[in-house]
A and B are shown apart, each in its own frame.
Chain A
Amino acid sequence: MAAQSPALPAAPWSPPRRQASLRYFLHRYARNRMALFGLWVITLVAFAAVFAPRVAPADPTKPDFGRLLAPASREHLLGTYDLGRDLLSRVIYGARTSLLAGVVSVGIAVAVGLPLGLMSGYYRGRLDDFLMRLTDALLSFPFLVLALAIAAVLGAGLWKAMIAIGIVFTPGFIRLSRAQVLSERERAYVEAARARRARRTGGSSGGTSCPTASRRCWCRRRWPWPQRSPRRPR
């Protein structure tokens, strides 16, 4: 086996105190007004999506050809669409598709991209080289080629589109989480932890992931969501 050359050996890891960190997280979250506002918006959208048939005032697909592009009225709170359909109902039903598409495509990208990026950044060497060249290759495809090919193989439809978008997002997440690890792994606390564990376990390296960085990276995951800082600067 070819030797890699990580700058430092990887260290085993003991789980952090989950409860404490969760409580801390919630405490910080509740104090951030922007975050709470965001939470409300998301909740509202999710609510509309789940209860669309009950919330929507009209059938979103039913056209009214006598009323094209009508202004807001009591009957149509946001007016009508170009085919005379109720705009508010379409927005409410549209939340279903948008939410699903957003969550699934980004979910795919994170689920695949994050662990790969973490491994790449932590182990460096051959693995890093391989993964980075793979992302180079993926990043250079025109989206349309991928989308058309995926549609051709899987067939058309929302789920396929979500998979296609997820695949397109993945290389970006790989590179981003790798960059995070690169800057994080040189921090004092990581080195301290490494030194401590190394002594305790006799310097054996192992594990297939890098959970410390992973946890930090995950908590401060930066893109494309809004984020917040754990500590307030002076």
Chain B
Amino acid sequence: MTRYLTQRLLLTIPVLFLVSIIVFTLINLIPGDPALLMAGGEAGQDVVEALRKQMGLDRPLVVRYAIWLGRVVRGDLGKSVRDGRPVLDVLRLKLPVTIQLAAISLLVSWCIAIPAGIVAAWKRRSVVDYTATTVALAGVSIPNFWLGIMLLYLFAVNLRWLPPSGYVEPWVNPIRSLERMVLPATVLGTALAALVMRLLRSSMLEVLGTEYVRTAQAKGLADRRVITRHALRNALIPVVTVMGLQLGGLLGGAVITETIFAVPGIGQLAVQSILTRDYPMVQGVVLFSAVAIVFVNLSVDIIYSLLDPRIRLVEARS
């Protein structure tokens, strides 16, 4: 296990390297000159040229990459080209927001999806099943921005039960912090829950049909015990995969929801830096997102082996 972990963690380095090279290339493929976007059309050509020089954009791509990489190795992610703010400082501000939102959304999703999925499979073709399936279908079909605006008007504008937007650090005021997370987390959570619920239901149905479950039932074990002890474990493998993908997505930023509820997370930062061609900031965001995804996928692979001990964590040998 330790060896496996070390190996996986070491493999993170080439992944980050690969990611940084691809992003560097891609973002330079996108037309749009950061100097022009910063100086504006009314500035003369000489101003744009001078800015380009200041940003080091007059040097060839490879040289720029090498300089950037050299700094990153020393722990310096560079500065935003917009106002010279260190990329690391900005990421440090956004990180707690995004992690908190992702965690609460995922929690909301599980609280809805896991019980609903199990019951729908257990009482297949019952009213419960059909209701859950229909609601899940609606959850997948309703666009986030629509649901977001509707909840915003209902709970914040008309009923005034919840604040409409913003972020408060949990260590400043935990209750107000949670209050502001309710609406965005609900919007994200319901969309995620729909998928997880359907996946869990079908996965459960399949497992419930296998021999070992029948054996367990034949042994006379109670339904509840069969489901929680025997069936659920196996049924969770594809579900965990999707949850991992979802968590990775959330950590990369939930742009639409963040925008509607003015949650200052990674998503808004990413979009604004791309639109303004803030190259160092984009690089920083992508690196963070890559680290997050590597760790999420590592956790998912470990959870596989915990759920089904026959799935071994295989190390590569040379």
Contacts and interface: CB of A to CB of B under 8 A. Distances in A.
A and B touch in the complex (CB under 8 A): yes
Interface of A: 2-7, 34, 124-126, 128-129, 132-137, 139-142, 144-146, 148-149, 152-153, 172, 175-176, 178-180, 182-183, 186, 188, 220, 222-224, 226-234
Given A2-B317, A175-B297, A183-B308, A142 B285 contact: yes
Contact of A179 (B29, B217, B237): B237
Interface stretch (B82-90, B158-166, B169-177, B197-205): B197-205
A222 B199 contact: yes
B23 A145 contact: yes
Contacts of A3: 317
Q: Which 10 A-B pairs have the closest CB atoms?
A: A231-B209, A140-B290, A233-B208, A229-B205, A179-B241, A149-B26, A186-B310, A140-B289, A183-B237, A124-B314
A71 to B, nearest CB: 21
Interface string B90-103: 00000000000000
Contacts of A4: 316
A137 B317 contact: no
B133 to A, nearest CB: 8
Contacts, number: 152
Contacts of B262: none
Contacts of A227: 198, 202
A130 B217 CA distance: 41
Contacts of A139: 245, 248, 252, 293, 297
A223 B195 CA distance: 8
B63 to A, nearest CB: 21
User: Size band of the B side of the interface?
Assistant: 35 or more
A149 B30 contact: yes
Interface of B: 11, 14-15, 18-19, 22-23, 26-27, 29-31, 124, 133, 140, 195, 198-199, 202-203, 205-206, 208-209, 211, 213-214, 217, 234, 237-238, 240-242, 244-245, 248, 252-253, 270-271, 274, 282, 285-286, 289-290, 292-294, 297, 301, 304, 308, 310-312, 314-318
A183 B312 CA distance: 11
B316 A152 contact: no
B124 A175 contact: no
A234 B14 CA distance: 49
Contacts of B23: 141, 145
Contacts of B271: 142, 144
A145 B285 CA distance: 11
B289 A142 contact: yes
A137 B18 contact: yes
A58 B45 CA distance: 50
Given A4-B316, A183-B311, A233-B208, A142 B274 contact: yes
B199 A223 contact: yes
B241 A129 contact: no
B286 A141 contact: yes
